[in-house]
Amino acid sequence: MPILFEEVKYVYDPRTPFEKEALNNINLKISEGEFVTILGKTGSGKSTLLQLMNGILKPSSGTVSVDKILTSRNDDSIFNIRRRVGLVFQYPEHQFFEENVFKEIAFGPKNFGVEANELNRVVLEAVEMVGLPRTVLSKSPFNLSGGEKRKVAIASVISCNPKYLVFDEPTSGLDPVSVNLFFDMVKRFRKFGKTIIIVTHSVKEAIQNSERIIVMTKGQIVFDGDIQTFIKSKKLIEWGMLPPPLYRLAWKIKEKVDDFDIKDDRLSEAVSLLKSMIN
């Protein structure tokens, strides 16, 4: 079952001098098991889209549903949605409030009704999935390194066992090694059947890691397709994004050599080669 947007519009501060339309006429379906990257410059509506998926925001018009449950319902179903859709914010470590890592990770599942005798197992599994040692459990989350804090924040979402993992700019502020470690971790999540949705500014990260790319600009979806189709598009600069250097070089060569072309049956091989070159 999918996350489904149908004719969705969202307006901040409606009927005030600060009214701003963030999304307009969004139709989108994300199915279980997909790895989707949402690209777009600041103000394109990406973060608003994510918060609608989780039920933090409700559409001004249209409908958003998660596994056929409407996010606009005013009953206990919103808890089912938030358990299904785990949202990790851009700087999740800023939201810590518990005295130690164990309590921080246990907070979500405890509030979703996990029994006390199960909490220890749930927390240990989450710590293992994000690659943290058990020794951190007794430490204050505020005293950890930046990378460890990010992992604790992700573990606190993983511990609720969501079907859909949604990340808002998860690699912001991370060095290249930490970025690679993050995506290695995401690949482990996929082995457990998680659907991955990532918002990022990085075209390179999208091409290297995801299977489906969505591009947003001015509150609308202007592209939704696979990596091969995305690579062949010449509208990245128009959408406010800078393609990776190798792709810009390939386009320049194509402009200079009329017969330079990649046949469709060789495109997948070419994409794999470009990825390895970028790595």
Tell me how far apart the alpha carbons of residues 256 and 234 are, in angstroms, rounded to a whole number.
16
Give the model's pLDDT for residue 254. Answer: 61
Give the model's pLDDT for residue 265. Answer: 52
Tell me how far apart the alpha carbons of residues 104 and 108 are, in angstroms, rounded to a whole number.
8
Tell me how far apart the alpha carbons of residues 273 and 39 are, in angstroms, rounded to a whole number.
23
Chain length of the chain: 279
Cα-based distances in Å from 255 to 232, 247, 260, 264: 13, 12, 8, 19
* Model pTM score: 0.83
Q: What pLDDT tens digit does each residue of the chain (279 aa) get?
A: 799 999 999 999 999 999 999 999 999 999 999 999 999 988 899 999 999 999 999 999 999 999 999 998 877 788 889 889 999 988 777 789 899 999 999 999 998 888 888 999 999 999 998 989 999 999 999 999 888 888 999 999 999 999 999 999 988 878 888 888 899 989 888 888 899 999 998 888 898 899 999 999 999 999 999 988 887 777 877 887 777 777 667 666 666 554 545 555 555 565 566 555 555
Tell me how far apart the alpha carbons of residues 249 and 48 are, in angstroms, rounded to a whole number.
34
Give the model's pLDDT for residue 146. Answer: 82
* Sign of the CA dihedral running 62, 68, 70, 73: positive
Name all contacts of 147-153 with Cβ < 8 Å and 24+ positions apart. Answer: 147/174, 147/178, 147/181, 149/93, 149/96, 150/92, 150/93, 150/174, 150/178, 150/182, 151/185, 152/93, 152/96, 152/101, 152/104, 152/105, 153/88, 153/89, 153/92, 153/93, 153/95, 153/96
In CATH, which superfamily holds the domain spanning 3-97+163-242? P-loop containing nucleotide triphosphate hydrolases (3.40.50.300)
Cα-based distances in Å from 17 to 11, 12, 20, 44, 61: 12, 11, 9, 21, 20
Ordered by start, the domain boundaries in the chain are 3-97+163-242, 244-279
Tell me how far apart the alpha carbons of residues 128 and 244 are, in angstroms, rounded to a whole number.
34
Give the model's pLDDT for residue 42. Answer: 87
